[in-house]
């Protein structure tokens, strides 16, 4: 159990009962932690076909074996469950301080079932757990909830909570912590809301054992030096964080414009979105728990008569609320980010939903009457933020879009379908497949579709030998590109399951996680083991979706994001993503069936998943 707290907690919210479980060493060894362990647990404990917002859905919250160790950026925790947005496997990744507090409170994983009669919160304190009444917190935004935690439970307590959007079961709701860090994708904030679970609060000083402290110390020295020496993307993350690439990527055509239908030449001047402009509003630089990169910050400004002190927007948030809606006004983007965090919305999906609504309004599919009097126009940031509030509170047409663009397009009819840019129900991040076609494959084939981080944005860390083209390079050569997805995705799965931040992983050599896992767990773990564990995680996530009847091979894709038809102007003009070819290349490497992406029996058995093979393919005939 080195590296682990050694305990799971099951919380039956219908019965208000708690039960501890000791995880098996095999489970932790094979699936590492985080969504790896979460996927195996939910595959085993939840039948297919459950209502994502019903009592049978299991909401899991897990850390990894490196979470809270001395490993640089080891701050991560994961939420898992059946996604109400996609109807399939859902996970989302958080950082900040909560994951470390959860583990030091004595738990590697929490699993919530049932639905509470009244709002509750779970309080964890150094190995003890208690469900408490949260009626007084219900209706509060996430900042007020976090203020209450610090004032009433103590400064040393960390929390992860939902806001009014999650309470209202918005399918684009996330789980917020540290007043602006978020585990936001997959709509799992709605699952938490459906269970009437407002908050998880954790306090802890419990230690977990590390097998080889000398090796851990040596790894800390080695990999912090790499980060400080500028290995991989470390200079970028240390100097600017994600907003630092915004204008460059806009110019390169990596950021979609005007709800994916426009091109960069139509976008207003991107210069006001330079990082130096964001810095003008920065109050302080910030970091997650003991992180030496410190990639984020707090902005302070007045916008539209409102004083704001809030987490600065990340690249994705500014791209979604900026480029998709044709807005280059940074103060308004800081406000949009602030509103999403306060009300508990995924900024990627929320920005996409606002852009969708603008396009519907501009094409006469909705009117001023539907928007509650707001005139939605491209570039009108005040209208954008006003409509964002409609989504957060489920008012007027905001009530419809609060369940995502897929649901909204179904509500409006076929004329709205081209405006709804999603894969499998989840809105796309603002990295454009027409710039890096490999992303189109990730968006289509990951078990949580429409995610850019699930294959480290189609890159691998330094030191992993490969002849892959750099991100966005040689995109005219798409043949063969699908063969690079397996390695990027399985490495990313192990990284996520370990509890390490993607930015630390991209700022060190590929040996970082294996070296640390070896030191902490006390068993030799090599890069090759990282590949196998990641592949096992990929297969159990995919098996979950197969059981739910999801077939990504025949998934309908948004034409405008895949270059069908291609853009006629701009840096990505003429690019059409050869998605079918890349899909087959990836399926061949994964040993998943070419027509339905079902993991083959041979592959599952090779990974030690015979029981899953029997589920998907039926019991083998013993007589043969
Ligand atoms: S790199 Fe940034 S997001 Fe990652 S752990 Fe450090 S501060 Fe947090």
- pLDDT beyond 70 at 146: yes
Query: CA-to-CA distance for 279 and 105, rounded, in angstroms?
Result: 36
- pLDDT beyond 60 at 33: yes
The residue to mutate among 69, 73, 226, having the most atoms of ligand 1 within 8 angstroms of its beta carbon, is: 73
In a domain, 52, yes or no: yes
Q: What is the pLDDT of residues 345-378, one digit of tens each?
A: 999 999 999 999 999 999 999 999 999 999 999 9
Hey, is 569 helix, strand or coil? coil
- Cα of 242 to ligand 1 centre, how many Å? 10
pLDDT band at 177 (very low <50, low <70, confident <90, very high): very high
Domain CATH for 492: 1.10.599.10
Segment among 338-347, 443-452, 468-477 with least mean pLDDT: 468-477
Query: Are 612 and 43 in contact, with CB atoms under 8 Å apart?
Result: yes
- The torsion angles phi and psi of 472, rounded to 5 degrees, stand at 85, -5
481 and 537 assigned to the same domain: yes
In a domain, 2, yes or no: no
In a domain, 431, yes or no: no
- Cα of 263 to ligand 1 centre, how many Å? 32
Mean pLDDT across the stretch 499-527?
Answer: 97
Hey, is 54 helix, strand or coil? coil
Number of Cβ within 10 Å of residue 287's Cβ equals 16
Mean pLDDT across the stretch 406-430?
Answer: 98
- pLDDT beyond 60 at 623: no
Q: Give the rounded percent of residues in the chain with a pLDDT score beyond 70.
A: 99
Strands 89-94 vs 175-177: parallel, antiparallel or unpaired = unpaired
25 and 155 assigned to the same domain: yes
- Cα of 295 to ligand 1 centre, how many Å? 6
The residue to mutate among 231, 243, 284, 291, having the most atoms of ligand 1 within 8 angstroms of its beta carbon, is: 291
CA atoms within 13 A on the CB side of 379: 6
Task: Give the DSSP letter of residue 416.
Answer: G
330 and 476 assigned to the same domain: no
CA atoms within 13 A on the CB side of 583: 20
- Give me the chain's average pLDDT, please: 97
Hey, is 592 helix, strand or coil? strand
Task: Give the DSSP letter of residue 24.
Answer: P
In a domain, 549, yes or no: yes
In a domain, 307, yes or no: yes
pLDDT of the residue at 465: 86
pLDDT of the residue at 140: 98
Where among 188, 203, 218 does a domain terminate?
A: 203
Atom index in ligand 1 nearest the CA of residue 76 equals 5
- Cα of 241 to ligand 1 centre, how many Å? 9
In a domain, 164, yes or no: yes
Domain CATH for 84: 3.60.9.10
Query: CA-to-CA distance for 479 and 581, rounded, in angstroms?
Result: 7
Query: CA-to-CA distance for 508 and 464, rounded, in angstroms?
Result: 11
pLDDT of the residue at 619: 87
- pLDDT beyond 60 at 624: no
pLDDT band at 129 (very low <50, low <70, confident <90, very high): very high
Which pair of tokens denotes residue 565? 């038809």
Number of Cβ within 10 Å of residue 219's Cβ equals 26
Q: What is the pLDDT of residues 34-59, one digit of tens each?
A: 999 999 999 999 999 999 999 999 99
Where among 394, 422, 450 does a domain terminate?
A: 422
- The torsion angles phi and psi of 296, rounded to 5 degrees, stand at -120, 180
507 and 382 assigned to the same domain: no
Q: Give every CB contact of residue 404 below 8 A, 6+ residues apart in sequence.
A: 85, 171, 172, 187, 349, 353, 422, 425, 426, 427
pLDDT of the residue at 476: 86
57 and 188 assigned to the same domain: yes
Query: Are 315 and 245 in contact, with CB atoms under 8 Å apart?
Result: yes
239 and 102 assigned to the same domain: no
C-alpha closest to that of 20 among 11, 33, 30: 11
Number of domains in the chain: 3
Q: What is the pLDDT of residues 243-299, one digit of tens each?
A: 999 999 999 999 999 999 999 999 999 999 999 999 999 999 999 999 999 999 999
276 and 196 assigned to the same domain: no
The residues lining ligand 1, judged by C-beta closer than 6 Å to any ligand atom, are: 73, 75, 95, 237, 287-288, 291, 293-296, 501, 503-504
In a domain, 510, yes or no: yes
Residue 582's H or E segment, with its range, is helix 579-590
**Higher confidence at residue 476 or residue 60?**
60
Where among 355, 389, 422 does a domain terminate?
A: 422
pLDDT band at 335 (very low <50, low <70, confident <90, very high): very high
C-alpha closest to that of 562 among 443, 470, 388: 443
C-alpha radius of gyration, the chain, whole number? 23
Hey, is 212 helix, strand or coil? coil
Mean pLDDT across the stretch 533-554?
Answer: 98
- pLDDT beyond 60 at 485: yes
Atom index in ligand 1 nearest the CA of residue 507 equals 1
Query: Are 496 and 34 in contact, with CB atoms under 8 Å apart?
Result: yes
- pLDDT beyond 60 at 26: yes
Nearest CA to ligand 1 atom 4: 501
The residue to mutate among 75, 93, 286, having the most atoms of ligand 1 within 8 angstroms of its beta carbon, is: 75
Which domain range does residue 602 map to? Answer: 437-617
pLDDT of the residue at 621: 62
Q: What is the pLDDT of residues 550-562, one digit of tens each?
A: 999 999 999 999 9
Judging by beta carbons within 10 Å of its beta carbon (0-12, 13-18, 19+), is residue 619 exposed, middle or buried?
A: exposed
35 and 169 assigned to the same domain: yes
414 and 447 assigned to the same domain: no
In a domain, 212, yes or no: no
182 and 91 assigned to the same domain: yes
154 and 270 assigned to the same domain: no
Q: Give every CB contact of residue 110 below 8 A, 6+ residues apart in sequence.
A: 8, 9, 11, 60, 61, 62, 102, 122, 200
Q: Give every CB contact of residue 230 below 8 A, 6+ residues apart in sequence.
A: none
Atom index in ligand 1 nearest the CA of residue 96 equals 8
- Cα of 11 to ligand 1 centre, how many Å? 30
Number of Cβ within 10 Å of residue 611's Cβ equals 11
Query: CA-to-CA distance for 236 and 239, rounded, in angstroms?
Result: 5
242 and 104 assigned to the same domain: no
Segment among 118-127, 254-263, 476-485, 524-533 with least mean pLDDT: 476-485
Where in 52-171 does DSSP place strands (E)? 59-63, 77-82, 89-94, 109-113, 120-125, 128-133, 158-161
Domain CATH for 275: 1.10.569.10
DSSP conformation letters of 518-565: HHHHSS---HHHHHHHHHHHHHHHHHHHHHTT--GGG----GGGTTSS
């Amino acid at each position: 159990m080195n590296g682990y707290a050694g305990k799971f907690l099951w919380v039956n919210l219908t019965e208000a009962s708690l039960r501890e479980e000791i995880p098996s060493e095999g489970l932790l060894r094979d699936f590492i932690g985080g969504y790896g362990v979460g996927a195996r647990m939910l595959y085993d404990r939840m039948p297919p076909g459950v209502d994502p917002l019903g009592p049978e859905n299991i909401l899991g919250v897990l850390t990894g074996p490196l979470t809270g160790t001395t490993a640089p950026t080891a701050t991560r925790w994961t939420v898992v469950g059946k996604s109400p947005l996609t109807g399939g496997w859902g996970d989302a990744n958080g950082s900040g301080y909560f994951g470390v507090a959860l583990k030091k409170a004595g738990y590697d994983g929490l699993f919530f079932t049932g639905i509470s009669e009244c709002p509750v919160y779970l309080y964890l304190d150094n190995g003890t757990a208690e469900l408490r009444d949260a009626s007084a917190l219900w209706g509060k935004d996430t900042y007020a909830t976090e203020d209450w935690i610090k004032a009433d439970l103590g400064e040393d307590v960390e929390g992860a909570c939902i806001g009014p959007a999650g309470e209202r079961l918005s399918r684009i709701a996330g789980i917020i912590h540290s007043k602006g860090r978020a585990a936001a994708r997959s709509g799992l904030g709605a699952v938490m809301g459906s269970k009437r679970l407002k908050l998880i609060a954790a306090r802890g000083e419990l230690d977990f054992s590390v097998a080889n402290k000398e090796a851990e110390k040596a790894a800390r020295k080695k990999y912090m030096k790499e980060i400080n020496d500028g290995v991989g993307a470390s200079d970028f993350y240390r100097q600017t964080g994600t907003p630092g690439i915004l204008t460059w990527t806009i110019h390169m055509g990596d950021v979609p414009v005007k709800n994916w239908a426009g091109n960069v030449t139509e976008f207003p001047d991107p210069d006001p979105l330079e990082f130096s402009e964001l810095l003008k509003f920065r109050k302080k630089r910030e970091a997650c728990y003991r992180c030496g990169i410190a990639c984020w910050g707090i902005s302070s400004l007045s916008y539209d008569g409102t004083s704001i002190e809030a987490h600065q927007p990340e690249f994705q948030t500014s791209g979604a609320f900026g480029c998709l809606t044709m807005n280059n006004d940074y103060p308004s983007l800081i406000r949009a980010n602030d509103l999403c965090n306060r009300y508990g919305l995924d900024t990627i999906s929320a920005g996409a939903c606002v852009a969708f609504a603008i396009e519907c309004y501009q094409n006469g599919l909705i009117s001023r009457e539907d928007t509650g009097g707001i005139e939605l126009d491209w570039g009108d940031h005040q209208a954008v933020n006003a409509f964002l509030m409609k989504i957060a509170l489920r008012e007027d047409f905001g009530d419809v879009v609060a369940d995502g663009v897929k649901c909204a397009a179904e509500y409006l009819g076929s004329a709205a379908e081209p405006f709804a840019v999603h894969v499998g129900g989840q809105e796309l991040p603002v990295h454009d497949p027409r710039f890096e076609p490999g992303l189109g494959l990730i968006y289509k084939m990951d078990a949580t579709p429409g995610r850019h981080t699930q294959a480290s944005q189609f890159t691998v860390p330094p030191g992993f030998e490969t002849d892959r083209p750099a991100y966005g390079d040689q995109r005219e050569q798409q043949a063969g590109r699908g063969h690079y997805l397996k390695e990027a995705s399985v490495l990313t799965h192990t990284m996520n399951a370990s509890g390490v931040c993607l930015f630390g992983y991209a700022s060190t050599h590929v040996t970082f996680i294996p070296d640390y896992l070896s030191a902490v767990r006390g068993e030799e773990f090599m890069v090759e083991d990282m590949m196998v564990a990641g592949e096992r995680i990929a297969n159990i996530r995919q098996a979950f979706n197969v059981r739910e009847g999801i077939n990504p091979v025949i998934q309908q894709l948004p034409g405008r994001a895949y270059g069908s038809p291609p853009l006629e102007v701009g840096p990505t003009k003429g690019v059409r993503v050869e998605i079918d070819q890349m899909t087959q290349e990836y399926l061949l490497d994964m040993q998943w069936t070419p027509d339905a992406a079902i993991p083959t029996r041979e592959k599952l058995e090779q990974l030690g998943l015979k029981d899953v093979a029997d589920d998907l393919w039926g019991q083998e005939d013993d007589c043969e």
